Amino acid sequence: MRPLRLRLSAFGPYAEEQILDFASLHGRPLFLIHGPTGAGKTALLDAICFALYGETSGGERDGRGMRSDHAGLETPTEVSLDFALGSERYRVTRRPEQDRPRSRGTGVTRSRAAAELRRLSGAASESEGIAVASQWRGVTEAVENLLGFRSDQFRQVVMLPQGQFRRFLLADSRERQHILEVLFRTERYRRIEEALKAAAGTVEDSVRRLSDKITVLLQQAEADSAESLLEKRRGLSKEINDLDGRIRGLREDESKARQVLEQARQAHRAFQELHEAEAALSKLTSEQPAINELENQLTRARKAALLRPVFENKESRRREWEDAQKRAAAALKALETAESQWVQAEESWKRERSREEERQKLRETFSRLQGMADEVAQLEDARNTLERYRRHAAECQKMWEAAQKDLEDNREAIRRHASEVEKHQKAAALFELRQVNVKRFEERHLQSRRLESLQKDHDALLKVLERAENERSDLERRFSKAREALEMMERRWIQGQAAFLAAGLVPGKPCPVCGSAEHPAPARTDETLPSQAALDRARKDLKRLEAQCETARTETERLRERMGELRAARDAVAAFFEGESERSPAQIEALLEDARRELQQSQRARESMARLSQAAEKLERKERELTETLSTRHEAFLDAVGRFKEQEGMIRERELRIPEHHRRLDALKDSLRNTERQLRSLEAALEAAQKAKEDASGALSARKEGLAAAREEEKAASERFEAARKAFLSRVEQSGFPDEEAFLSAHLEEKAIEQLFERIQDHSRRLEAAQDRANRARKAAPKEAPPDLVPLERNLEGLVARIDEAMGLRGMLNARAQQMDHQIHELHGAQKEYQSAEARYRVIGRISEVAAGRNPHGITFHRFVLAALLDDVLTAASQRLRVMSRGRFDLVRARQRADQRTAAGLDLLIFDAYTGTHRPVNTLSGGESFLASLALALGLADVVQAYAGGVRLETIFVDEGFGSLDPESLDLAFQTLLDLHLGGRMVGLISHVPELRERIDVRIEVQPGIKGSHAKVVV
């Protein structure tokens, strides 16, 4: 990431808009941000970090706390940064939550925080760009994805602010691992490690699952091993073969028993058939008398059937005679009815002829009513006109009354409006006073919160200082004891050297001290002497404790200085409240809220006053308009009333010429319709009576002729019936029947005769079949009695039961055999799979364990990769650190774990060439830490860019730290930074050290002022 252009407004000490164009540095890779203490140098880094992440470079303040106290409300707080990322250029802009003047009226309102990220390259209009993200959190996430850093990581490797310069150098192993993961994109190695773990877990689960399966299969088979299961299967096969032989013998016995039983059953069936055949023959023989009677009935029925045509002819003539009698009676009755109707028609005709005078009067009335129709229609039109005049007058009256009401309502609104104006005038007059009161309470609320925060920081720091003091005292006590123990060991070691040398003397061999071959009295000692290795460890432990004591003293002094700064700041804020009663921040906030509510009330009152003034003008204008409307509507009402009365007089004159019940057109039409209907009714009645008389006369003549014809037909039918009856009786007598009743008793229908004949024939056939069956049964029946079936059946049932029992046992044994075969097959397959899975697990399981850190070095595969990358970083960093420390220091990676409970591989040590020892990096002094941190940051940037797939570190900002260097170290550090232009990186230094201002000719000068600071580029 390389900054191109920074624009900030009302941010920190910068009240006005400030634009820094980094392109104006003319490609110089090293520039200085210079200015007095407190001028706003760090605020520029805060602005860059705030634009990218919404946080300041120190991570201690949010955007709302960076609002410039020098800026007016009309100047919004806003930061915009144009930056390049490879070939792409972007612009990020942020506006924190802040107060601003209202768009309408006076007062302030709270505007919400806003942020946006745009890509400038590739856009149609580069000044506008293409939207990439919006909203506060959305922009932060987009920036993190683009740069590959979170805010805290950005402050460790790109922007090194005051007090945090050493964070990456002194970071713990876990935090350093996360930073390296992001920079070098090593997620794939973690995924490889996780994939190995997952694969090993899968194979291990398979091994465990197959082992459990084998155990379950053996338990289900009730066997200890696969060999014992096979032995059980062989025993089961022998048992099945023995059972099959027994079943074959039982089946042979069953077949013989079935044959004997079947022969016995056939004999029993023959005797049973003989008995049933003789019983059936005896029954049919007993039915013969009834069959003889049926044959006699059939003979009589056949004789009667010969007389059926004559009988049917006689019955037909009888029915014809009866029908003729009915028709003659009906003709007589019809004649009587026709005579009655002719008499009634004659009387009705005479009655209608007598109403001729009534018909003539109706004709005259109808003609007179038709003459009135035109005049009544004119009267009806006049009434309609009168009704329109009446409605018009009523509408005019309503409009006049409505205008009167509107005028009264408007006058009442004017009175209410005057009362409302009086109510708001008092509140509006207090607006300026309440505005001043709100600002006063806002200032006190801000200071009270600041005082509360400072007090909390003071209390927290006091506890930290107490812990640091205790730790420092404890370390000093441990250092004093370790030093005394080392001195004691050194004295014992020196005193025991004679005994140590004497222990190595050999008789006859020269002494390495005096050279004598005789050793009459060699030195002796009873106590155990310390070894050289023990002395070395004790010296190393003492140096480590000494370094820790020095670090603890430095930290304690730093905490005391910070405590003094907090107390001074707290006392300065507390002086703001001198002479005032003590209030808590919550109480001040409550007073502020009350003051704001009162101010809002006054603001609303002022707005209401403006609105009421406009409303008053509208009401007065409406008063004039309503007065004019009232006068116009009153005149219209009087005119409508006059026309109504004139039309009413004209109607009265016309009504005098028309009867009262005909003055309505609808009543006249009803009278016309009624008169016309009565006239037509009388004329139609006369015509109907005349026609009814003529029809009745014709009908009477026709009925007389019909009666004569019906009587002639009745006589002829009677004669034909009598002739047919005599012929039938003669045939009955000739056929042997004594009378007609005997004929009717013997007579049957043709179908009944056929059924009777069929019944007789069926009995004959059944009798013949029964005789044949009895003869065959007598021949088939054995001469001896059949054997008893019960013992034979019981014997067969016993054999079947034994066979079923054996077959059931055979099925159970077969099922058991199939189950054992399946278990053996499953067991062999599971054992084969288990051996294969176990072999795979021995390989992949071990690889996974090593990759997961379960190895002598305690380092995972992912950390191994990161450690290799860190070695490259440390190599590059040590090259610069060696130059800046005049060959004394190198940064190296710790190869051994200091704590067996933590992961190894990423801890840092410093190699001191002066002492030839390695020691922790936290034992470096302030200036040494600055040089090591600077070398590490630059080395990290070199290696990241060299790998070409990670994040590009094109810019680094260093805030202070140069004041801790002596002149020679400053020269070396400065020369190292100058060498960076070969790599094309931009380095920004923030410092007030005068020597840097003399050495670096490209600067951003920051000048403080009464109305805020200003910055400019000096080339």
HEC string of 554-568 equals: HHHHHHHHHHHHHHH
410: pLDDT strictly greater than 50:
yes
Count Cβ atoms within 10 A of the Cβ of residue 843 and give its class: 0-12 exposed, 13-18 middle, 19 or more buried: exposed
pLDDT value at residue 845: 80
* Residue 857 tokens, joined: 């070095």
865: pLDDT strictly greater than 70:
yes
pLDDT band, very low/low/confident/very high, at 116 (cuts 50, 70, 90):
very high
Residue 206 near residue 974, CB atoms below 8 Å: no
902: pLDDT strictly greater than 60:
no
pLDDT value at residue 82: 92
Q: Which of 57-66, 305-314, 802-811, 916-925 has the lowest mean pLDDT?
A: 57-66
Q: Region 992-1014: what's the mean pLDDT?
A: 81
269: pLDDT strictly greater than 90:
no
Q: Region 476-489: what's the mean pLDDT?
A: 82
pLDDT band, very low/low/confident/very high, at 950 (cuts 50, 70, 90):
very low
The sign of the dihedral angle between the CA atoms of 290, 296, 297, 302 is: positive
Q: Which of 50-59, 484-493, 940-949 has the lowest mean pLDDT?
A: 940-949
pLDDT value at residue 568: 67
pLDDT value at residue 961: 58
Domain membership flag for residue 184: no
pLDDT value at residue 51: 92
144: pLDDT strictly greater than 80:
yes
pLDDT value at residue 479: 81
pLDDT value at residue 92: 94
pLDDT value at residue 58: 61
Sequence-separated (6 or more) residues with CB below 8 Å from residue 930: 165, 166, 961, 962, 964, 965, 973
Sequence-separated (6 or more) residues with CB below 8 Å from residue 428: 602, 605, 606, 608, 609
Average pLDDT, the chain: 78
pLDDT value at residue 579: 55
Domain membership flag for residue 104: yes
Domain membership flag for residue 866: yes
pLDDT value at residue 6: 92
Q: Region 40-69: what's the mean pLDDT?
A: 78
Helix runs in 852-860, H state only:
none
Highest mean pLDDT among 440-444, 467-471, 504-508, 960-964: 467-471
Q: What is the DSSP letter of 122?
A: T
1002: pLDDT strictly greater than 90:
no
pLDDT value at residue 79: 94
pLDDT band, very low/low/confident/very high, at 8 (cuts 50, 70, 90):
very high
pLDDT value at residue 948: 45
Q: Region 375-382: what's the mean pLDDT?
A: 72
Residue 592 near residue 442, CB atoms below 8 Å: yes
Angle at 613 between CA 611 and CA 615, to 5 degrees: 70
CA–CA gap between residue 843 and residue 716 (Å, rounded): 134
Domain membership flag for residue 837: no
| Last-in-domain residue among 127, 152, 173 | 173
pLDDT value at residue 562: 79
995: pLDDT strictly greater than 90:
no
Residue with more model confidence, 30 or 520: 30
Residue-wise pLDDT for 640-652, tens only, equals 777 777 767 776 7
Q: Region 346-358: what's the mean pLDDT?
A: 79
Helix runs in 430-517, H state only:
431-495, 497-502
660: pLDDT strictly greater than 70:
no
Specify whether the backbone of 338 is left (phi greater than 0), alpha (psi in -120 to 50) or beta.
Answer: alpha
CA–CA gap between residue 694 and residue 346 (Å, rounded): 9
Domain membership flag for residue 905: yes
Instruction: Provide the 3-class DSSP secondary structure of residue 912.
Output: strand
Beta bridge partners of 115: 94
pLDDT value at residue 115: 92
Q: What is the DSSP letter of 924?
A: S
| Last-in-domain residue among 173, 190, 217 | 173
Q: Tokens 């830490």 label which residue?
A: 929
pLDDT value at residue 95: 92
Instruction: Provide the 3-class DSSP secondary structure of residue 83.
Output: strand
pLDDT band, very low/low/confident/very high, at 984 (cuts 50, 70, 90):
low
Instruction: Output 154-159 pairs: Cβ under 8 A, ≥24 positions apart.
Output: 154/49, 154/52, 154/53, 155/49, 155/57, 155/58, 155/59, 157/183, 157/937, 157/940, 157/941, 157/953, 158/1, 158/953, 158/955, 158/956, 158/957, 159/45, 159/48, 159/49, 159/57, 159/956, 159/957, 159/959
pLDDT band, very low/low/confident/very high, at 991 (cuts 50, 70, 90):
confident
pLDDT value at residue 528: 67
pTM for the full predicted model: 0.39
* Residue 626 tokens, joined: 């309503």
CA–CA gap between residue 408 and residue 414 (Å, rounded): 10
Half-sphere exposure of 828 (CA within 13 A, CB side): 8
Domain membership flag for residue 46: yes
Residue-wise pLDDT for 433-478, tens only, equals 667 677 777 777 787 787 778 888 888 888 888 888 888 888 888 8
What is the domain count for the chain? 2
Q: How many CB atoms lie within 10 A of CB 749?
A: 11
Q: How many CB atoms lie within 10 A of CB 905?
A: 23
CATH number of the structural domain spanning residue 145? 3.40.50.300
pLDDT value at residue 723: 83
Sequence-separated (6 or more) residues with CB below 8 Å from residue 493: 529, 530, 532, 535
Phi then psi dihedrals of residue 388, to 5 deg: -65, -40
% pLDDT > 90, the chain: 3
Phi then psi dihedrals of residue 3, to 5 deg: -70, 140
CA–CA gap between residue 570 and residue 585 (Å, rounded): 15
| Last-in-domain residue among 112, 146, 173 | 173
* Residue 276 tokens, joined: 């049933």
Residue-wise pLDDT for 158-213, tens only, equals 776 554 556 667 777 777 777 777 667 777 788 888 888 888 888 888 888 888 87
pLDDT value at residue 353: 78
Residue with more model confidence, 499 or 692: 692
Q: What is the DSSP letter of 980?
A: G
Distance of CA 678 to the CA centre of its chain: 86
Sequence-separated (6 or more) residues with CB below 8 Å from residue 459: none
Domain membership flag for residue 241: no
Domain membership flag for residue 41: yes
CA–CA gap between residue 759 and residue 755 (Å, rounded): 6
Highest mean pLDDT among 620-634, 777-791, 807-821: 807-821
323: pLDDT strictly greater than 50:
yes
- Cα–Cα separations (whole angstroms), residue 1013 to 98, 110, 640, 918, 1000: 21, 26, 85, 47, 22
Domain that holds residue 912: 856-1018
